[in-house]
Amino acid sequence: MTDSRLAIVVLAAGQGTRMKSQTPKVLHGLAGIPLIGHVLSTARALDPAHLITVVRHDRDRVAAAVLECDGACTIVDQDEIPGTGRAAEVALDALPHDFDGDVLVVSGDVPLLDAATLSELLTEHRARGAAATLLSAVLDDGTGYGRVVRDAEGGLDRIVEQKDASEAEQAITEINSGTYVFHAPSLRAKLALVSTDNAQQEKYLTDVVGLLRGDGMPVAALPVREGWLVAGVNDRVQLADAALRLNQLIVRGWQLAGVTVVDPASTWIDRTVTLDEDVELRPGTQLHGATTIARGAIVGPDTTLTDCEVGQGARVSRTDATLAVIGERASIGPFAYLRPGTIVGEDGKVGTFVETKNSTLGRGAKVPHLSYVGDTTVGDGTNIGAGTITANYDGVNKHRTEVGAHARTGSHNVFVAPVRIGDGAYTGAGTVVRKDVPAGALAVNVAPQRNVERWVAANRPGTAAAEAAAAANEGSEGTA
């Protein structure tokens, strides 16, 4: 049920210079979705009446990504006045003027903070009747974070940003996570009093806490159980740390749901992946995007699947596949490369060192090894011989090859598209198929073999080959 007294503001206006990237910080990927996608998903789980994201740097890209993640989110632009306080101020202006509920402020670069922790924060805030409640954490190294300064009774006194903190204040290990709940009318009133008179010349949201405290209004800091919950992502090292932590949580979740993960440390699963019970993931497996894997399938080792569908009981080993559909009980790999548009039917096989693209293999069809199959339809029960190539490109356009059901094609064939090989047809080894083969026919076009006797002796005298041939000929003459 929608919480009519809750508004959530996501701060995503910063540039993120420490990422050293042309991509805005909040758009860097984490487990298959951008950082801000995790934050928006968590915020939406609380079912707020209003969800607002504040943007500025690379505004259009960030806004587009936000709306792709949550189409109902309101986008608000921060002006030239810097600081989190100003971001909260413009967000408040986007709320109904009579909104007098709670405003939960979260950062777009804190992806691991979960809905349960935010719900606990909101509950604590409301139970205390506080004007402001913030999430804090105790860290071994608080570098980069504002410090939580408590009074003699242990209550929240104020927050000091690191650049404005004294040496004693910088030694404090309890930090401000940048996540707050404010009573909306109190927040409006105090933001109007916040200045930019500080080391960074920014309008700090943290100053609101001190102003509320100065007026004798109740404020509180709620420490989280684990510091990593509120860890921000400011550089590539922190991004990798967050990715590792989140992946551990994802893998553990699937294990508890009935998936066998042989080596969790080398298995990576995006948040968007779906797995059935009794799936087995072997070491070195990476599952990305909208990949789905059905019951009883075994994937890996050393396999990467992106936006793939794997059927029940299939086997996929040492394979790289994107936008492919793998049918029930199909066998893929090892060392297969399935490009977009590949569909492998039930009991089908794409074997060792085979590349496929935009091709459909029927039920029980097999391409066992050393082949390229592109823009091709292969009928049920057909076997494609080793080393076969579909020549689908004429330098300008791509053309299709059709191979009928229960055909048997020889090794080292080339199918020059567009061409059709009929049902039950055979082709000889080394055949180049340039015209259609009727159903049940045998296609061969290899010239008869001709042996030129004594050619090596005449053309390569004195070589090791000539000496070996001479010895072999003498031996055969001696036994004649």
Any domain includes 479: no
Any domain includes 452: no
Same domain, 265 and 225: no
* Alpha-carbon distance values, 321 to 49, 171, 287, 402, 406 (Å): 42, 51, 10, 22, 26
The reported pLDDT for the residue numbered 476 is 73
Same domain, 363 and 392: yes
Any domain includes 480: no
CA pair distance 177, 133, nearest whole angstrom: 11
C-alpha count within 13 angstroms, C-beta hemisphere, residue 376: 34
Q: Which of 177, 200, 230 is the last residue of a domain?
A: 230
Same domain, 20 and 61: yes
Domain span at residue 122 reads 3-230
Is 406 part of the annotated catalytic residue set?
A: no
Same domain, 12 and 49: yes
Residue 426 neighbours by CB distance under 10 Å: 17
Q: Which residue has the tokens 């009446």?
A: 49
Any domain includes 374: yes
Of 28, 50, 288, 369, which one is the catalytic site residue?
A: 369
Q: Which residues pair with 138 in a beta bridge?
A: 174
Any domain includes 240: no
Q: Which of 172, 197, 230 is the last residue of a domain?
A: 230
Any domain includes 310: yes
Same domain, 209 and 301: no
Same domain, 189 and 145: yes
Any domain includes 142: yes
Under 8 Å CB-to-CB from 201, ≥6 apart: which residues? 82
CA pair distance 383, 330, nearest whole angstrom: 14
Under 8 Å CB-to-CB from 65, ≥6 apart: which residues? 26, 27, 34, 36, 37
Compute mean pLDDT per 10 residues along the chain, 480 residues long, and list them: 96 92 96 97 97 97 97 96 94 95 97 97 95 92 85 85 85 90 96 87 89 91 92 94 97 98 98 98 98 98 98 98 98 98 98 98 98 98 97 94 97 97 96 96 90 93 95 74
Same domain, 216 and 88: yes
Same domain, 53 and 138: yes
Residue 398 DSSP label: B
| Overall number of domains in the chain | 2
Phi-psi category of residue 341: left, alpha or beta, with phi > 0 → left and psi -120 to 50 → alpha: left
**CATH for 51:** 3.90.550.10
C-alpha count within 13 angstroms, C-beta hemisphere, residue 334: 4
Q: Which residues pair with 132 in a beta bridge?
A: 182, 219
Any domain includes 306: yes
**CATH for 347:** 2.160.10.10
* Alpha-carbon distance values, 252 to 29, 31, 48, 248, 309 (Å): 21, 14, 29, 6, 22
